[in-house]
A and B are shown apart, each in its own frame.
Chain A
Amino acid sequence: MNNKEKEILLKKRYNAEKRFRFFGISSIVIALSFLCILLVNIFTNGLSAFSRTEILLKINFNEKKIRH
């Protein structure tokens, strides 16, 4: 094996390592982004349920109109 062949082999191995890193990082990013989409979706949909809307009504508590 001469020097040139060795260099090509080394480059191949480095390239394989780079590819492996890229796939690993991208799979983590994809998984995290799915988690983010899920959480954002649930929280944007659900947070409004923690408030309720009320109306302030003037009530006349007339004792004759409160039936027993």
Chain B
Amino acid sequence: MKKKLGINSSSTDKEIKQANFDEVLQEALLSLAPNAPELKQAELIDLVSIDATIELKKFYLKNKDVLNKTAEVALTLSDDIDQVHKGNFPRDIPEDRRRFSDFQLKIYDEQIAKKKIISEFNWPFIFNADSREPEIAGVGASLMGSFFTLIVCLLLSFPLGILAAIYLEEFAPKNKITEIIEVNVNNLAAVPSIVFGLLGLGVFLNYFYLPRSTPLVGGIVLALMTLPRIIIPCRAALKAVPPSIREGALALGASKVQTVMHNVVPLAMPGTLSGTIIGLSQALGETAPLLLIGMVAFINVVPSTPLDPSAVLPVQVYLWSESAERGFVEKTSATIIILIFFLAIMNSFAIYLRNKFEKKWS
């Protein structure tokens, strides 16, 4: 088979995806300063992100008619120039103490004057996975990881918690054993969360050999932590249903199970649901137990199932806060903003549920 040197208008998408756009990109970058000495050429190439050739490829896949023509393409700048543009790097310090050279700054200023440097909304920050390069790192993977973790946590802790609360409150005989269980449930809510992490490491990873760093294990560990936080408000909500409701149902001939399931539990639902949501929002912000089960790993692909390794939002904050690049400082705070945003949504949903469905007994 003859090896083709370039692509042509009949190339398939697969061939284009394998093609190498480095040379056209280099040519365009070097043309920014045509007479630059060889030493400065590397600085020119460093102006753009290392992902720029991939962006070029994506642009070409969308606009195939540009072959053998010249087109203007928007390419991501490297994080250093990005930070200069946002005013986070001082420009007036000596060159050897900067991460960008005078030459790069000169090119940048030229392009600013020509209005070739633009700012756009950072969609890749929302959808991309983590990266060592701040300009292409995103929270997409940790958003998905947090989502899967919370789903697993909800599916495990909500039914278990509600059933435990109903049994303890409505059916269990009041004796020494249930008293001990009650005390233990209350104590469990006060156990430091990192202890649950140790439990997850010892039991789920080392004994059951569940996959490491996955939302599945994270969700199970967080479910253990959330259980008492669901049981306690659920029991309080069940206690708050007046005895007249139970007596009325029993008087009409309902069995004990019918009384509880048809009359008491529906009335206790608003309190239970808001308690569950508050418990879940605590689980969303939890870092310590997830560190121990390996969810701190550097994951650069967006997980598609709960069995894929992934990070979660608070762990992403922890990881980025340790990175040295200036670009990660703003990314850390931006991740906190996203986390606060989701917590606020969940908590206001809990308040809404409480106000909408809560019955006042007079």
Q: Which of B12-26 contact A (CB under 8 A)?
A: 15, 18-25
Q: What are the residues of chain A within 8 A of B3 when measuring CB–CB?
A: 68
User: In angstroms, how far is the closest chain B Cβ from the Cβ of A43?
Assistant: 7
Q: Is the CB of B69 within 8 A of A61?
A: yes
Q: Is the CB of A66 within 8 A of B82?
A: no
Tell yes or no: B8 within 8 A of A by CB: yes
Q: Is the CB of A63 within 8 A of B25?
A: no
Q: What are the residues of chain B within 8 A of A45 when measuring CB–CB?
A: 329-330, 332-333
For the side of the interface on B, what is the size category? Answer: 35 or more
Q: Which of A24-50 contact B (CB under 8 A)?
A: 41-43, 45-50
Q: Evaluate whether A68 and B135 lie within 8 angstroms (CB atoms) in the complex, with A48-B86, A51-B119 already known.
A: no
For the complex, would chain A's binding face be called helix, strand, loop or mixed by DSSP majority? mixed
Q: Is the CB of A59 within 8 A of B119?
A: no
Q: Is the CB of B119 within 8 A of A53?
A: yes
For the side of the interface on A, what is the size category? Answer: 20 to 34
Q: Is the CB of B116 within 8 A of A56?
A: yes
Q: Report the bound CA distance from A54 to B75 in whole Å.
A: 5
User: In angstroms, how far is the closest chain A Cβ from the Cβ of B330?
Assistant: 4
A-B contact pairs, 29 of them (CB 8 A): A42-B333, A42-B337, A43-B333, A43-B337, A46-B331, A46-B334, A46-B335, A49-B125, A49-B333, A49-B334, A52-B120, A53-B81, A53-B82, A53-B118, A54-B118, A54-B120, A55-B117, A57-B48, A59-B73, A60-B27, A61-B24, A61-B60, A61-B69, A63-B9, A65-B23, A67-B5, A68-B4, A68-B6, A68-B19
For the complex of A and B, 3 pairs with smallest distance between CB atoms = A46-B333, A49-B334, A45-B333
Interface residues, chain A, CB within 8 Å of chain B?
41-43, 45-68
